Structures are given as C-alpha cells and as structure tokens.
Amino acid sequence: EDKVVQSPLSLVVHEGDTVTLNCSYEVTNFRSLLWYKQEKKAPTFLFMLTSSGIEKKSGRLSSILDKKELSSILNITATQTGDSAIYLCAATNTGNQFYFGTGTSLTVIP
C-alpha cells in the first residue's frame, strides 16, 4: 500500500529555534516529493524534490530528499511566529497520483 508518513504530528517551539520535520514514503513508481505549508484554506507550495542529495533552499527553509532511505526532511532555521502552520508532505508517482501525509502542525511561540 502506497503511503506517506510525517513526524512529528505536532510541534511547539520558541521563536529562534530550528526545527526539522520528517517525511517518509513508500510509493511505487515514485516520481517526486513535495512540501507544502498550510495556514488557511489551501496549502502553498514550498519545494519539489526529485533528485536525491540535492538540497533546495528558500530563505530560512531548506529541504533534501534521500531516495535510499525513502525520506525527506524540511528544516526551518530561526523560526518566527509566521512559520506557525501545518506542513504537508506529498509523494507523487509516474501516474501523477498524489499521496499526502497527514501533516505536522508547527506552533511557534513568541
């Protein structure tokens, strides 16, 4: 059964902390892994990873894919209250089907 598992389920940190969110997948004919940030109605796209070992960065956020371990991490450094959100991970297959994790809820306390 194809699936994506995220951990932790929820996380509460203080401003300035660094957090690491985990995503593991078991998807046949895997194509890519995507990270989203969801604050309100629709998740906003963060990263798409297709190659193993290549880090993608955007400001204080970075992510990397490990195809050998079938996993990905999302790092957020110097967290701010605006980083409070649910972070979703999704894996796609070559048939363009999406397999989402249930998300990690991040709360950043001032």
Partner 1 sequence: GAGVSQSPSNKVTEKGKDVELRCDPISGHTALYWYRQSLGQGLEFLIYFQGNSAPDKSGLPSDRFSAERTGGSVSTLTIQRTQQEDSAVYLCASSLATIGPGRSSYNEQFFGPGTRLTVL
Least separation in angstroms between CB 20 and partner 1:
17
Q: Scanning residues 49 to 108, which ones bind partner 1 (CB under 8 A)?
A: 84-86, 88, 90, 95-100, 102-103, 105-107
Residues 83, 94: Cα–Cα separation, whole Å: 32
Residues 109/14, Cβ–Cβ less than 8 Å: yes
> Minimum distance between the CB of residue 17 and partner 1, rounded to whole angstroms?
16
Task: Name the minimum Å distance from CB 68 to partner 1.
Answer: 25
| CB closer to partner 1 out of 64 and 92 | 92
**Segment 23-52, which members bind partner 1 (CB under 8 A)?**
36, 38-45
Q: Does position 12 bind partner 1 by CB under 8 A?
A: yes
Q: SS in 3 state form for 14-79?
A: ECCCCEEEEEEEECCCEEEEEEEEECCCCCEEEEEECCCCCCEEECCEEEEEECCCCEEEEEECCC
Distant-in-sequence, close-in-space partners of 57: CB < 8 Å, separation ≥ 6: none
Minimum distance of partner 1 from residue 55's CB (angstroms)? 21
Q: List residues binding partner 1 (CB under 8 A).
A: 9-10, 12, 36, 38-45, 84-86, 88, 90, 95-100, 102-103, 105-107
